[in-house]
Structure 1
């Protein structure tokens, strides 16, 4: 899982299966072959507490200046860039949405704000997908996929409450 920090970028939550994860080490995300350098690692106590490194079996977080929420996926395998794993760890499989809906800002000037809000929601919800879409009547918006109607209502309500978005769905 991960969260987005405005000042530090994506904060990834990890469980180290084998090896170590330390600051200033180059890593590779196996889902998209992206390369980053770890800036900080630590554990939760319950606040984030910086550590020099994480070892096999540890659960913690890492920060690697990942600026795009689309670059990191829940369940991705993170490996050493210089000595990468041969194949990703088994386990997580992507969920496919069943319900689709268009989401548009009421004020067309809020499109960029909506785009940022949806990207942040996607970071915490792997079942939620979206693609840009435009309508002659409604302007620019997004075609969003959800697991069901309740999931759709929750996302819409989070956009309204957490991001102060006035939307048409």
Structure 2
């Protein structure tokens, strides 16, 4: 009797066969988890940015450091490496949800969607209470989500006739 191994539906290294398209309701339901991940990403990036100048200064003076200075240099290297690993893990988790990190300083993400048949995204930033903005891909201007979209975003199939 042969056994079939259990495998992930999208093993690492294999591209997804179909791009993810999320509706507004799903994006909003995902928000608590996404917010937690984004908060972690921003914190890890902040740690890396705060420690990097000191790491560079200690590296430049590495030949003249006393024992305490060398210990500090090793500790900072470890802290940065740990923060980078944690950042990569959180980013991978976010991407696994189909959400794209736009800015790791302010914590902005995009939830991919389609609007009127065009690739677009619902946009959210850390600190916002809800997913309330959208934009077409390639645009940077975040537009408020119209209230009529609460019952469904216009797609190519349900586009109003002009």
- Give the TM interval when normalised to the shorter protein: under 0.3
TM value normalised by structure 2: 0.27
Q: Which has the larger radius of gyration?
A: 2
Q: Which has more strand, going by share of residues?
A: 1
TM value normalised by structure 1: 0.26
